Amino acid sequence: MKPTITPHPEPNVTIVAGMQWGDEGKGKTIDYEAKDAKLVIRSTGGSNAGHTIIHNGIKYALHLLPSSIANPKVKSIIGAGVVIDPECLLKEIWRITGDSYVIKDNRLVISDRAHVILPFHKSMDKLYEELKANKVGTTGKGIGPCTADKMNRVGIRMGDLKHCTESELRAKIKELIKVPNDLFSLYGYPEWKITEEEMFVKCQKYKEILSYLIFDVQPIIAREIRKSSKIVIEGAQAFSLDIDHGDYPYVTSSNPNASGLCSAAGIGPTQVKCVIGVIKSYCSRVGEGPFPTEQPDQTPEDVGSIIRELGHEYGTTTGRPRRCGWLDLMQLRRACEVNGVTYLCVNHIDTIGLIGQKVGKLKVCYTYDEGEAKYVTFDHSGWEIPKNCTNYDELPNEAKKYIEYIERLTDVPVKYIGIGPEDKAMIVRQDV
């Protein structure tokens, strides 16, 4: 007899991915999309990310916890592809709970497959940067070195903290610290030498506090997939920082594009319903690397400085002033293709209006000529978003023209429009 095969459940996974160099405002989009979701899965990166969200009037600066953590109706998952600095995680949990390490009601689950960043990974990050002729300008959070250990198959995973016996864990630590200790002494940092005991004590501490959150998350995800529950995959970093598709070598060490996010979350592509590509109305970049539309920022009157001040473009993770410039539609077109973007979310439409007013014009890059950005100039001079604006028709005509130009050149509809930092300051076009 032929077996009966249950058909695939109706896809209901939404991926939220950055299209530029990070800091596009993904946190707010995720917070919005999570309103009717069952699960939110943070899928790649680590504490190099920084999301600022304002949920019900309370501001949260998050690095590792999913942006849904403030929402009691959602289960937040830190997925297999994340590299976790437990020190950072503990701090965030402490802050979000008030003053304890207890997140109630099973609201947070951490994949036992996620890798652990240990303090020496940050020293390695520093050392590698120092040794490089072309610096990447990493966040210094140990992301690259931890990922390299993962790829070299010597990493320690969250599940190891929970399940390994003392001798198993000590053996893993011994294996892991061999090469970094050699490098530290070779390159003149003997004081950075790590001892097995020191690492073991740290791992014991993480085990005691975090074990109740660490599980195999696959059964949890599979159950919701079977019911076609809404699941949101939370991206970190962005397309141009993708290790394969970004500006190599000035990239991060993961695949923050939509397919990479899907894989790192543990979800098959047939379950994806839509990909939301998030951009700002201008561009910013922290760290080194190409930036075709970058604007000068030597004096306060320079366009780069104006964008930075009006957009508050200082890193959430490192406090570094961000490099700023005009929107780059060449970058965006490519990002939309690689990510298979269904809808765009355009943030900072309020800010770009103010930038236009201050600069006297707005520019958008529509092509490159031998690597150099070519611009279309909008001859109007910016706008202000009216108070209590809640739908697309209430936006100033110039703002609509700006948005429709993005749609025309990318061939992707703009469904979400961010008009301020709060969770409510978002226009959602229902007709798109």
- List 21, 32, 291, 343, residue binding ligand IMP (CB under 6 A): 21
Query: Is residue 312 annotated as part of the catalytic site, yes or no?
Result: no
Query: Is residue 348 annotated as part of the catalytic site, yes or no?
Result: no
Residue among 31, 51, 112, 350 flagged as catalytic: 51
Please report, for residues 86, 174, 363, the alpha-carbon distance to residue 203 in angstroms, rounded to integers and kept in the order given: 9, 13, 51
Q: Are 81 and 43 in contact (CB under 8 A)?
A: yes
Strands 108-111 and 75-78: parallel
Does 66 help bind Mg ion (rule: CB under 5 A)? no
Does 139 help bind ligand IMP (rule: CB under 6 A)? yes
Does 137 help bind ligand IMP (rule: CB under 6 A)? yes
Residues with Cβ within 8 Å of residue 186, at least 6 apart in sequence: none
Residues with Cβ within 8 Å of residue 260, at least 6 apart in sequence: 44, 81, 242, 254
Residues with Cβ within 8 Å of residue 5, at least 6 apart in sequence: none
Dist. CA 82–CA 48, nearest whole Å: 11
| Residue whose tokens read 């991915």 | 17
Give whichever of 206 and 250 is closer to ligand IMP, judged by the CB atom: 250
Which among ligand IMP, Mg ion, none contacts residue 139 (Cβ within 5 to 8 A by kind)?
ligand IMP
- List 43, 44, 48, 293, residue binding ligand IMP (CB under 6 A): 48
Does 19 help bind ligand IMP (rule: CB under 6 A)? no
Q: Are 194 and 13 in contact (CB under 8 A)?
A: no
Give whichever of 18 and 325 is closer to Mg ion, judged by the CB atom: 18
Give whichever of 18 and 353 is closer to ligand IMP, judged by the CB atom: 18
The window from 15-23, 179-187, 210-218, 333-341 that contacts ligand IMP (CB under 6 A) reads 15-23
Does 421 help bind Mg ion (rule: CB under 5 A)? no
What are all long-range contacts of 53-56, with beta carbons under 8 Å and residues at least 24 apart? 53/27, 53/28, 53/423, 54/28, 54/421, 54/422, 54/423, 55/31, 55/423, 56/423
Does 136 help bind ligand IMP (rule: CB under 6 A)? yes
Q: Interface residues for ligand IMP in 192-251 (CB under 6 A)?
A: 236-237, 241, 250
Q: Interface residues for Mg ion in 295-334 (CB under 5 A)?
A: 316
- Phi first, then psi, for residue 200 (nearest 5°) are -65, -45
Dist. CA 236–CA 265, nearest whole Å: 12
Which among Mg ion, ligand IMP, none contacts residue 304 (Cβ within 5 to 8 A by kind)?
none
- Which residue has the CB atom at the shortest distance from ligand IMP? 287
Dist. CA 381–CA 147, nearest whole Å: 46
Does 246 help bind Mg ion (rule: CB under 5 A)? no
Q: Residue 192 is encoded by which pair of tokens?
A: 């950075």
Does 255 help bind ligand IMP (rule: CB under 6 A)? no
Number of residues that bind ligand IMP (CB under 6 A): 21
Does 23 help bind Mg ion (rule: CB under 5 A)? yes
Please report, for residues 60, 143, 256, 291, the alpha-carbon distance to residue 315 in angstroms, rounded to integers and kept in the order given: 15, 17, 19, 17
Q: Are 288 and 133 in contact (CB under 8 A)?
A: no
Does 25 help bind Mg ion (rule: CB under 5 A)? no
* Beta carbon of residue 164, minimum distance to ligand IMP (angstroms, whole number): 28
* Beta carbon of residue 46, minimum distance to ligand IMP (angstroms, whole number): 8
Q: Residue 42 is encoded by which pair of tokens?
A: 């943070």
Does 55 help bind ligand IMP (rule: CB under 6 A)? no
Q: Interface residues for Mg ion in 32-61 (CB under 5 A)?
A: 50
Kindly list the residues in this chain that would bind Mg ion in the complex (CB under 5 A). Answer: 23, 50, 316
- Residues lying near ligand IMP in the complex (CB under 6 A) are found at 21-23, 48-50, 136-139, 141, 143-144, 236-237, 241, 250, 252-253, 286-287
Active site residues: 23, 51
